[in-house]
Each structure stands twice: as structure tokens, then as C-alpha cells.
Amino acid sequence: MRSEISDLIISPSVNVCAINNVEYVPDSDSDTIRLLNADVVDCEEDVGARNLQSAKMVGIYGEEDLEVDAMGRSFSWSVLLVQLMMLLPGLSIASLQPKRSQTYIIHMDHSQKPDHFSNHESWHQHTVKSLSSACPEDKETFLYSYTHVIHGFSAKLTSCQLTELEKSPAHLTTYKESFGKMFTTHTPRFLGLNRGSGIWPTASYGKDVIIGVFDTGIWPESESFNDSGMSKVPSRWKGKCENGTAFSPSLCNNKLIGARSFSKGLQAAGLNISTEFDFDSARDFEGHGTHTSSTVAGNYVYGASHFGYAKGVGKGIAPRAHLAMYKVLWTSDTFASAATDILAGMDQAISDGVDIMSLSIGLEHTPLFEDVIAIASLSAIEKGIVVVCAAGNDGPGSATIYNGAPWIMTVGAGTMDRSYIATLELGNGMAFEGTSYFPTSVSIANRPLYYGSNDTKTSGCSFLNRNEVKGKVVLCDDSNLDLNGQMNVVTSAGAYGAIFLTESLFLDPEDYSIPGVLLHTRYSKAIKEYAITGNNTIVKSMRFVFTKTGTGPAPQVAFFSSRGPDPISPSVLKPDILAPGVDVLGAVRPDVPFIEAGKYDLVTDYALYSGTSMATPHIAGVAALVKAVYRNWSPAAIRSSMITTATKTDNTYGTIRDQWNGVTATPLEYGAGHVNPNRAMDPGLIYDMGPQDYIDFLCGLGYTVKQMSIILRTSQWSCENRTDLNYPSFIANFSNQTTSWSEKHFTRTITNVGDHSSTYRAALKVPDGMIVKVEPNIIRFANKYQEQKFVLSIQVDEDSPKVNYGYLEWIDEHNHIVSSPIVVIRD
């Protein structure tokens, strides 16, 4: 195999290299290009250039590193060009430019496949190989053929090859490789799940449902993946567990029934799998995938805790569901995931027979016809698979949603009613409780208290004198807002412990390198007054590893959770729903240090993680429970059951708040509200949809025929002139140009899935500045699964707020409350 990275060829009969556009033959044992500068510039043969990270030039000009873009897209050859230009004054710089090859996702018109090919993959491979006739010096690299998620393949191609390929009448479009990122117990009880009643026993805890998780891999030996009490692998399952580095199929069981990895796209970009930090297999290198897997469907584990915090019985949301891991995230500076690999994993999962897909991954914001996760998810939805994705961790800014396609369940992160605390008592008897995750149950007694009140650098702990603070408990005030920096400074200075006065209370569990406690600034005056009273101030007692439940208000929207409106599809309210995503206890990789405390590296089997990555598997688990109860429900019906039954209030009976600033949040932050699994089992009504509904939605976006065919993977479809998606929420966008009291109309179809005979009455809860009408406002059902239509109209005053919201509730005589948020945005 030959590479397109460099362009040098040796001519032994002359004194210098002749410069031509010729490729090296790569040798995996070599990582350098060596230029020996005498009278002759000589070049080693068989240079390993394919995955080259840097090249070295050695000789009378010295040794210089030549950086090469790790993605294979651009190269900094300036040093090489300068030196060779000195040797060859008449040389053209253009002739030295490397022949670049990139990875592309190629969409093909499958109706163009010649009959003599037995399947699409053989046609795809032949198509790529045939490019050699037009580009004889270029070597192609075929990666994946996709069967379900798109019609096409991925390959690494030069510009010559791509140009030739795009001449084919079967070619639809080309996308360059893109890279994704991950969005990185007590939660079942917080969600109201219990053994005695509700959705858990009714759903048999998710029995026989298969959940595919797309992540960093899995640690199969974790107790969360033991198969005690599990049913046998369903006969419809076509997946398998693959051999690989430190992973054997024998590690799978009736809980973990599938484990595959996908890395061709990553490697084609020059990002080799690390032999030091990763595994060329489905084994988890980081712990993220193990954590999400245990959250969605982990088995019962007694005594699970984060170094003693949150101790109890660890279990997933659907503890009797089966798991399949599709490893598509790999170690790198960004835990990169190539779009080609994500597509391959999703394509395989559809073939394998999963019921639910859980993706804590996001690609950059692009139109739907360029969003490979959206395109692949639509294919999965068409086959009855529920797709659940993380909304992203780009909050608290607005319009930061990822994975907002209307057929995807988009999940934001919320807090829980559980706090991790330390207690503090000062020498004057004042006592406080604050936030702490320090990982050992130490007790500090009668230690000197240090507070550098005379200088903001020392009072804010941006600088400390080791001789002054060693062996003392240091008080750091909020003149410095960098909590991580404060912790690093007090640790380096040799402090015995630390008290941080802060409004944010945000310090990750792994950052507690010495005993420390976070106290809200409302305690600042009392603590600082004591600290400056004299030289004999002491910390009488500091104690750690306490867990409190029932704290509030909870849930709140996590400060990092991405917010709406969706930048790609603003006509659909996103996120859909909120789920626990802060301090979630889950299984992790147990053989690498989680935290450094003092002189020791500490490991753990279970740890507290935060992110919409953690919220996503909660919703995927609830979807599995609903699926277990209603096997024939569509993905849209399952999503509707969760959205219309979500909780809009916290445990203090107030509206859900924003953790970032403490103010009341809106549906742009929390969607329909916080998931309520037991109510989702009996929603009363559902807003159902099928593939044609999404086609009609796409028809209304003004996409070209080519763009539509890419998303739908077909050249044949019909638009039924109905662009109003049957979504269980409403969002109306009004521009400044609209006249006073402008009106928008929404048509919806609701299906009775509750009692056979029911009468629903519309109840509207809207603020001033909004006038909402529902016609009809009373709907009667005589039979189960009967459908009825209604029209909701919204008028807004031009003086109304830029963002306003209310709710439509359909209420029947059987205690069903079917709630939908109504959001109005004025540009």
C-alpha cells in the first residue's frame, strides 16, 4: 500500500533529489524521512509515511521537526521547502505540495447498482478499486460499506480519485470526515422506580429489551454486567462479541450480549489506537462507556459507592435489559470519534437487532442532510428503534443543542436531590455544612486556620507562601473565582486542608487533592470575621464522606446542559426532556487512578460522573421499560409517553430552576420537564408519528431533491403538503415584522391509549401576552387507539417578552394529565 503524504524521488546520477509528484511506499517500522545533506540529498526507501506525525531533516542544516497534521489534511513543510529551495534555486514550491488524501462519506443512488453485483458492498468496493484506472499513481483505502444508515460507503481518497468518483451517475453527494465528542445508584429512587409498584414490575425491569450503547467501550468484568437473574439471549439477536486486545468473546454473557469496535475511520485520519492508553477492542479505556452502560441497564450491585459517598445498591434504569456495546470513541486529545465509525456502529446495530440506541456523542452543527447521526437515526426509527441522544454540554448559552433532529429523543441534564457534604466547626463554635467529594473519611481536629486577608492574592489563594500555610487549614475567599486554581495552589503550598468560599460550588470530584469543603458566600462574613480575630484561630473539626438525600430544590437544569432553541430545526422544541446528569454513580474502569489524594493514587469500581452523557442512558433505560410494556409502540409513541407525562416542578413544588443562576428555567432549558417513568407507563394519550410524518416535515424545509434523497436514502417519496409535525410540544417563532396579535396554527392528532371510553378537556395555562385557543376543547374517545384531531392557535402581542411559555393539558376523568409545553419566541 502506498501513501500520498510526500513527494520525493531519488535520482542517484545527480547531486540532488529530483522533485516529482511521486509517492513513498510506507513501512510501518519507519517514522522518519531522513535527508542526508552532503553533495547529494539522499532519501531512505520504504518510508513509513502513512501515519506520520512528524518528519525529521538531518544534516549540515541541523535537525528540525516537520509537523504533520494528525488528521491528514494539512502539513507544515516550510522547513523542508526552505532547505530544498536552497539546494534547488529553480524549484517550484507548488511541486513540493503533498498529495493529500482524506476520508469521505460517499452517498450513492442504490437504484443504479448493476445487476451482476451480488450485493451493495461488492459494488461499493469495485467502485473504489476502479478509480485506479484514472489515477494510476494513487492508492485508495476502502473503509466501510453501509447497509442501513445511509446508502453508500466511506473511503480514503485523493482529489483525483474523488473527482473521478463524482463523475459516476450513481454518485449523490460527498461529505468530508468529521469528528464527534462525548458529552461527558440513587437515580432510580429519585425517578420513583420501586419494586412494589409502577413501571418496574410491569415491565419486568426491561426483560428481553436490547439496548445498544455507542461509547468508549465497556469493562466487562464489572459487577454491573454480571448476568445473575438475566433471561437468555433473545433468539432474534444477530450480534456478537468480537475478539480484540484484552477482550475475548467469553467475557460476554446473558447481560452483555454484544461487543464490537469501529476504528477504521479514525485510523485512516492518522489517529492510531494508542497501545499505552487504549485497547484495539471493545474494552473501555476511559470508563465513560462503562458508566453509561451501567446506568442504562446495570445489574444489581450491593455496596456500590464513590469512595463511600452515595453508598447503596447500584442498578441501572432497566436492570433486566440486555446490553450491546459499540465502541466508536477512542483515546486522543479530544476522545475523538470519526463520523465514519459512528455510522458503521449504528449500521451494525440495526443489523444486529437492537431495540434502543443510546448515544452520548455529538457532531458539529450541520443541516440535517449533512448530519450523519441524524440520517442514521432516521433509518433506525424507520425500523422501530428508539434513538436517544445527549443534548450536549455547551450550556448555559442559548441555541447550543446537539442532536436536535425531530426523530431523535434529545436529553438535557438535571441535578438530583442528593448532596455530598463535609462538616466544619470553627474554634468559636460556629458549625457549617458544605459540599465536598474528598475521597477518604478523615477527621481534622484543632488545626490552625490561615487567612491571608491583607492581600487579595493570598486571600483568594492565587498565591501562598509555603512557610506560612504548611500544616494549616487555609481559607480561600471569592476574590479569585478559579476553584481549580485555588485547589492547586493550596495543595502545592502544603496546606493541611482548605475552605473555599464560593457561589458556584462547582468542583469536580476528581479535583479534591486535599481535604476541602466548599461553602456558599452567604457564610463569608461570619467565617472571615472569625479568621481575622487573632493568631489563635483554629478549625476545631472537619469531617468528610457524608451523603444527604432529599435536598433541594431538585431537579434543576444543570449549568452545563445545552439549551434551546435548536439552531438547525428551531420549529421543534429541544431538548425534549430532562434526566439526572449531575453526580450520577456508575461503574468505571477500576484499574486506573481516579484521583490523587496526597501521595496516593486512588482507584474505584464506581464513580460520580456528570454530563448530558449521564442523562442520556437514563432516558434510554426508561424507553426500554416502556418498550417492554408496549412492544408494538413506535419510537414516536414511546417518546410522546415520556414528554407528556414529564414533571415541571421540583421537590419544593416550584417550577424547575436553572442551576447556573438560580432563576426559574423555561422549556428552552428543560423541554417538557423531568422524566417521570411511572407516569410514562400510562400516558392516556400519545402523539404518534411514522416515517411519512418526517418526510412531510423535511418537505417543508426547502431542501433540494438531492438533499432529500440523501436523508431518506431513496429517490422515491411523496410530500403530502403537511409540514406541521405531530410533535407533543409547540414552539412558535414570530419575527419583528409580524403585525400586532399575529396568529399561528398547529394541527395535531392524538391517539387514545388509556381507557376505552374517555373524555378529555383542554386546560390552558398561559401568561399575559399570549392568547391560546384549542378547537375542539373537548374530545371524546369511544375506543382504545381511536384518533382525534385538534388545532391549537397562538396569538402574541408585539409587546410580549422575547421568550414566553405556557402549557396545554388534556385532562380526563381517569386522572390522566397529558401536558405539552407551548413556547413563543420573538426575534
Residue 683, CA distances (Å) to 353, 632, 678, 812 in order: 27, 16, 9, 11
Collapsed DSSP state (helix, strand, coil) of residue 282? coil
Which amino acid type is present at position 28?
A: S
Distance (Å, whole) CA 556 – CA 537: 37
The cell numbers describing 40, all together, are 547529494
Local structure of residue 25 (DSSP, 8 states): P
The cell numbers describing 150, all together, are 445511509
By C-alpha distance, which of 612, 594, 611 is closest to 511?
A: 594
Backbone torsions φ then ψ of 585, nearest 5 degrees: -85, 130
Collapsed DSSP state (helix, strand, coil) of residue 517? strand
Q: Given the DSSP bridges, would you call strands 817-826 and 730-734 parallel, antiparallel or unpaired?
A: parallel
By C-alpha distance, which of 337, 180, 181, 184 is closest to 271?
A: 337
Instruction: Please state, as a whole number, how many other Cβ atoms lie within 10 Å of the Cβ of residue 499.
Output: 28
**Angle, in degrees to the nearest 10, between helices 691-699 and 705-712:** 160
Query: CB–CB of 463/489 below 8 Å?
Result: yes
The C-alpha angle with vertex 818 and arms to 817 and 822, in degrees rounded to 5, equals: 125
By C-alpha distance, which of 700, 706, 717 is closest to 175?
A: 706
By C-alpha distance, which of 569, 584, 246, 276 is closest to 413?
A: 584
The cell numbers describing 423, all together, are 462538616
DSSP secondary structure string for all residues of 153-193: EEEEEEHHHHHHHTTSTTEEEEEE--EEEE----HHHHTT-
Which amino acid type is present at position 735?
A: S
Distance (Å, whole) CA 105 – CA 21: 26
Distance (Å, whole) CA 8 – CA 95: 10
The cell numbers describing 415, all together, are 441535578
Residues forming the active site? 215, 288, 613
Query: CB–CB of 269/338 below 8 Å?
Result: yes
Collapsed DSSP state (helix, strand, coil) of residue 254? coil
Burial class (CB in 10 A: 0-12, 13-18, 19+), 62: exposed
Distance (Å, whole) CA 692 – CA 689: 8
The cell numbers describing 642, all together, are 415520556
129: left (phi over 0), alpha (psi -120 to 50) or beta: alpha
